[in-house]
């Protein structure tokens, strides 16, 4: 537990406390008639009462105007001074003017504790600590009107002035009135910890915990102090006591799991985390966030895939039928190689009258990965039946069909997509997909014609600009135009490794090797895979052109290791260096 500057919970000032509100009027009805602001029968009271109503409705400007009208009628109307001070204490208000009103209210009615409390808070807000201390000392000496908030405020003020022992003494005095009080214990603990008196804080909390065997909050605080003091064994045992008192204490389980993790005890870490995942009191979003955070650690996931599976099953148990949980568990199955099991689980999301579109997409994606074209058609047809106007479904299906080598089917699907498209950006995307399809079939004339159409619909379609520029460069055609398109794409998406690679490659094709090298040095760190074969071979070629033969071979070999195809091209390049 990190030491913190103490803000006493039992004395924390807030604007809401200072601002006049209807509950203050209700409370004041309990004081004597001479102190009760609504007991005076006058026009000032009418304005005052209206001001209170407006303030309760958060119409603060109008409320201040009413309080000021009341004071025009009766310059000594203390309740209106109190109300005006509360409004002026709000953010953007004139704190000094508010303090003037509050001080005058106290002068007119020195027995009114509401007025004094407000003045004390305004003094604290204004940084007038010494004056605030004097006022709170006066209020805490009033034995007939004990108010724990005044003691807490005075302790806080003493501590701010460096009078730690005086602050603790004030809290002790408050405890004489209240007996054992968790709020006072927390305040004392905060002051001691913040003052570096760690052992005293621990000792006080240990005594309190020993006397209150079912107190979860202070046991948890004690465990945090043990952990902060590197007494991990005591911290663990104390947290286990909290969990024994209340097995649903999420904070204790979370901290306990963290200590086990820090110790390197993965068995207890995962078992404790599983307990946490089974709690209804922890949101599903928090649980998924924890799971995904662990899943990003690939070595940990591989070593503990069984334990990760238990966590995923805990989510399925606690949140049955939730789409995000089924997605998470199917992802776990995919990671462990059980693709069929994952697919079966994903298909359960398709039950019901109108499953979510994302559920269809996920199933189609896995079926495509398994190279099952008929299944892709079946599930995309089902998706289109449920969502007939979703152009993105057609685009996704066409992409899968292209991936599977079914070019004619992909073209037909894109024709259907074009008929359903209702925006120029979608039309641009579809024509761009048609262009890529024609290029893959070796017909660049039709490909470039499709790209031209795409750019007429959306001149800022970065991927079309990128692909068009790259294919022109590969064909050594219109390099000046290709360079302009590649630069435009990069300006649209500055941190995209693929677009930077294309720009560098066009520069290479134009003979500007030095600039191409600079751009590739920007692209490589942005490569999400950390080893895209296409980027690596391009960088090797650029280095070779600059005469940096040794480093060129390094990157060509890295491209080969990353799976560049055709491999013969790599071997041909490497043979140059022999």
Helix (DSSP H) and strand (DSSP E) numbers for the chain:
34, 0
pLDDT for the residue numbered 275: 93
Q: What is the CATH number of domain 479-575?
A: 1.25.40.10
pLDDT of residue 324: 86
pLDDT of residue 180: 67
CA distance 55 to 114: 17
Q: Would you state the pLDDT for residue 546?
A: 94
Instruction: Say yes or no: domain 213-282 is CATH 1.25.40.10.
Output: yes
Phi, psi angle pair for 399, to nearest 5°: -60, -40
What is the structure's pLDDT at 28? 40
1-210 has which CATH code? 1.25.40.10
- Ordered mean pLDDT values, 10 residues apiece, the chain (578 residues): 37 37 35 40 85 92 93 92 92 90 91 88 89 87 76 82 82 74 75 78 81 84 86 91 92 92 91 92 92 88 88 89 85 85 86 84 85 84 84 84 86 89 92 93 93 95 95 93 96 92 95 95 81 88 93 91 86 84
pLDDT at 100: 93
CA-CA distances (angstroms) from residue 406 to 395, 437, 451? 14, 10, 21
User: Nearest-CA neighbor of 218 among 231, 201, 230?
Assistant: 201
pLDDT of residue 436: 92
Positions of CATH 1.25.40.10 in the chain: 1-210, 213-282, 479-575
Q: In the chain, how long is the greatest CA-to-CA distance? A: 107
3-class SS shares of the chain: helix, strand, coil, % to 5: 75, 0, 25
Give me the DSSP letters along 505-573.
HHHHHHT-HHHHHHHHHHHHHH-TTS--HHHHHHHHHHHHHTT-HHHHHHHHHHHHHTT-SSHHHHHHH
pLDDT number for residue 36: 44
DSSP state of 11: G
């Amino acid at each position: 537990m990190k030491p913190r500057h103490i803000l006493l919970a039992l004395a924390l000032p807030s604007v809401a406390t200072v601002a006049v509100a209807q509950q203050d009027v209700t409370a004041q009805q309990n004081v004597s008639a001479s102190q009760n602001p609504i007991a005076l029968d006058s026009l000032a009271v009418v304005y005052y009462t209206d001001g209170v109503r407006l303030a309760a409705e958060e119409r603060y400007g109008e409320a201040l105007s009413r309080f000021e009208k009341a004071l025009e009628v009766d310059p000594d109307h203390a309740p209106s001074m109190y109300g005006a001070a509360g409004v002026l204490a709000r953010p953007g208000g004139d704190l000094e003017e508010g303090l003037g009103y509050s001080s005058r209210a106290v002068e007119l009615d020195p027995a009114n504790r509401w007025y004094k409390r407000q003045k004390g808070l305004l003094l604290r807000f204004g940084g007038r600590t010494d004056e605030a201390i004097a006022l709170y000392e006066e209020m805490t000496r009033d034995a007939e009107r004990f108010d724990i908030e005044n003691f807490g405020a005075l302790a806080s003020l003493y501590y701010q002035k460096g009078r730690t022992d005086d602050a603790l003494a004030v809290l002790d005095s408050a405890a004489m009135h209240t007996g054992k009080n968790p709020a006072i214990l927390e305040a004392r603990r905060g002051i001691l910890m913040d003052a570096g008196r760690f052992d005293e804080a621990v000792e006080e909390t240990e005594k309190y915990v020993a006397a209150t065997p079912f107190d979860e909050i202070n046991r948890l605080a004690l465990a945090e102090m043990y952990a902060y003091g590197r007494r991990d064994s005591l911290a663990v045992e104390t947290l286990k006591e909290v969990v024994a008192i209340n097995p649903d204490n999420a904070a204790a389980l979370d901290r306990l799991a963290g200590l086990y993790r820090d110790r390197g005890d993965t068995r207890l870490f995962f078992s404790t985390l599983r307990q946490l995942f089974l709690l209804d009191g922890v949101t599903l979003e928090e649980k998924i966030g924890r799971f995904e955070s662990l899943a990003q650690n690939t070595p940990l996931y591989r070593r503990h895939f069984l334990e990760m599976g238990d966590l995923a099953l805990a989510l399925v148990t606690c949140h049955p039928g939730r789409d995000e949980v089924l997605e998470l568990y199917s992802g776990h199955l995919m990671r462990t190689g059980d693709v069929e099991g994952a697919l079966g689980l994903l298909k359960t999301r398709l039950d019901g009258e109108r499953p979510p579109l994302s559920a269809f997409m996920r199933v189609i994606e896995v079926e495509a990965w398994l190279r099952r074209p008929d299944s892709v058609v079946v599930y995309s047809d089902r998706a289109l039946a449920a969502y007939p106007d979703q152009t993105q479904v057609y685009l996704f299906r066409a992409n899968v069909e292209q991936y599977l080598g079914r070019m004619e089917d992909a073209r037909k699907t894109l024709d259907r997509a074009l008929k359903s498209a209702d925006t120029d950006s979608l039309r641009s995307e579809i024509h761009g997909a048609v262009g890529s399809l024609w290029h893959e079939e070796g017909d660049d004339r039709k490909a470039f014609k499709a790209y031209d159409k795409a750019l007429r619909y959306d001149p800022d379609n970065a991927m079309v600009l990128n692909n068009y520029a790259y294919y022109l460069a590969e064909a050594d055609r219109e390099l000046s135009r290709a360079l302009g398109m590649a630069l435009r794409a990069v300006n649209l998406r500055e941190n995209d490794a693929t677009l930077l690679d294309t720009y560098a490659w066009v520069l290479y094709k134009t003979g500007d090797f030095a600039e191409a090298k600079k751009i590739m040095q920007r692209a490589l760190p942005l490569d999400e895979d950390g080893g895209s074969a296409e980027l690596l071979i391009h960088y090797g070629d650029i280095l070779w052109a600059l005469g940096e033969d040794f480093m060129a071979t390094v990157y060509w070999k890295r491209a080969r290791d990353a799976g560049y195809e055709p491999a013969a091209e790599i071997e041909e390049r490497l043979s140059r260096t022999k």
